[in-house]
Amino acid sequence: MIYRNTWAEINLAAIGHNIRQLKETLPEGHQVMTVVKANGYGHGSVQVAKAALDEGINFLMVAMLEEAIELRNAGIRTPTLVIGRVPPIHARVAAKHDITLTVFDLAWLQEISEEVFEYPLSIHLEFETGMNRTGISTERQLREIVATIEKLDHIHLTGAYMHFATADEINTVQYEQQKEQYEMMLGALSKLYPHPLITHIGNSAAGIQYPKEMLQYTRFGVATYGLYPSKDIKELDTVDLQQAFSLYSELIQVKKIAAGECVSYGATYCATEDEWIGTIPIGYGDGWSRKLQGFHVLIDGKKMPIVGRICMDVMMVKLDRAYEVGQLVTLIGKDGDAMIGMSDVANHLETINYEIPCMLTKRIPRTYL
């Protein structure tokens, strides 16, 4: 049951549309790996994964072992890669659930070398090519890691990958440098380990900007949800993405205040004339940041400014007239011809659109269309 009068709607048809759009950009034979980490970027990992499988996706990616196990508990047996470091002590859990782990550390392999595994463990190697986050940096490290893998019967090396730092910008030198470095490291790996491997380098930005340069798989994350990685990538106009996430609430009180009366904590907003104020049941406890004071919502297709400090559970807006309690409020999404995009919220917060659905907490129920 949903008791709240604030909720998000996730349009799974839009997600299917986006996946089809992204698949069409890739060369024949290349495939999409759908990224459902961070609870599917706040959209719901299990529901998004099932929508992706309906579109023929055959590989999923998450960031943590818990996220992969959640998919398994939902009956999703599709190959799934964890890109974050999983403590060696939990490697057997991954093997039991047929979850592929990322390896970039010789010490990690050495720690599990004496472990007894009931099931084999698949791993992908991550190469460091310029992101300077995690990954194998040198051929020497690679040789040591491969030599250790070959001694471990319960470890199966099945793939290799990297991550671009500037693919959301247009034609950067660093993109070319990272790609060149990866190709060099992949060439060294193929000599050390001459077995078939899955290779993937592209995120949403790289996959949209350089589709012909992607390898066997392209990891589409934010684009799956209808969000462009950057303004530059959107302006390429090569894919038509549909935002899948909408956020709604309703007015729970409407009152008229007199000139000079103030609204919310700190009295940061005071009316200069008699005006209507509406209260909406969403606040920073839901992840709706206090910094959104001064932004707006849509009511009856019109912008209504957020006034006064946003509280933990509610916020207030200035209305153009009296509305009935229960009036629909759109915080993200369409209302008639008007639209608040995820990027509009992100721009106000001086952040990226990726962050917005992720910051909206589980207090906001998700419903699925």
Strand partners, 277: 255, 318
Q: Which of 119, 231, 265, 291 is catalytic?
A: 265
Distance CA 244, CA 97 (A): 30
Distance CA 70, CA 76 (A): 9
Alpha helices in the chain (DSSP H): 12-25, 37-41, 45-54, 65-73, 91-96, 106-112, 139-151, 173-192, 204-209, 231-235, 342-349, 355-359
Of 37, 50, 179, 318, which one is the catalytic site residue? Answer: 37
Cα–Cα separations (whole angstroms), residue 63 to 45, 85, 92, 106? 12, 8, 17, 20
Dihedral over alpha carbons 226, 229, 232, 235 (to 10 degrees)? -10
How far from 246 is each of 8, 140, 366, CA to CA, in Å?
6, 49, 10
- Tell me which residue of 116, 117, 115, 122 sits closest to 101, measured CA to CA: 122
Query: Smallest Cα–Cα separation from 236: which of 168, 135, 282?
Result: 168
Packing angle between helix 139-151 and helix 173-192, nearest 10 degrees? 40
What are residue 157's phi and psi, to 5 degrees? -80, 120
265 is catalytic: yes
Q: How far apart are CA 274 and CA 105, in angstroms?
A: 65
Residue positions annotated with a catalytic role? 37, 265
